Amino acid sequence: MSVNILFSYFVLGITLAAPIGPVNSARLDKGLKNGFWHAWIVGLGAMIADAIFMMMVYVGLVKFLDIPIVQTFLWLFGGFVLLYSGIEGMFAAKKLTIDYRSSPDSMLKCFMVGFIMSITSPLSILFWLGIYGSVLAKTAVTYGTSSLLVYTSMIFIGLTCWDIFVASLTTVFRRFLNDASIKAISIISGLSLVGFGVYFGYQGITALLG
């Protein structure tokens, strides 16, 4: 088992988690409002969705996602989830105060935000099935199938490290923020989610009409 390959899979995990997208926007938003554990639990929900995508690659369900009607549904539903979350976040931002942050969102709600955003995101699906599927196939051909589970575990270690890093970052920043800055960041985060939602919805409508 190559240490270099293990490290490359670890880096791959961080690379997959790092790009700014709906999940990272939600993670930052929940972390700045509520603290470390709420940011971390958003990432955990997303990682559970990632695990499901990985299992789909393993058991050969990738072709199911190639069906046009399934792709259209995912675009539209993912767009709806992001639009709803973004608009709700912006309206809630107006009421945010330090007292409000002392009564944080429930852990279950934060978990479901991360899970639903990731599991319904066509970009996430295509990213995982495309990159992970191709890397998995190449590794199997080059190094055999005996160590695939270990290599895949390194991806999850990378994902976990990124989740902890972002959650810690929001905790540090939160100490230096006042109500006005929390509201501003929450609105920006909401706008980001709405932007992704509009893009997803546009893709879904285009696919539906096409």
Question: Could you tell me the mean pLDDT of each successive run of 10 residues in the chain, 210 residues long?
Answer: 77 72 78 84 90 77 67 79 78 58 74 88 69 66 68 85 86 72 73 82 85
What is the residue type of 114? G
Stated pTM of the model: 0.68
- Residue 28 CA to residue 45 CA, distance in Å, equals 14
Please count the other Cβ atoms lying within 10 Å of the Cβ belonging to residue 117.
27
Residue 147 structure tokens:
């160590």
- Residue 159 CA to residue 177 CA, distance in Å, equals 27
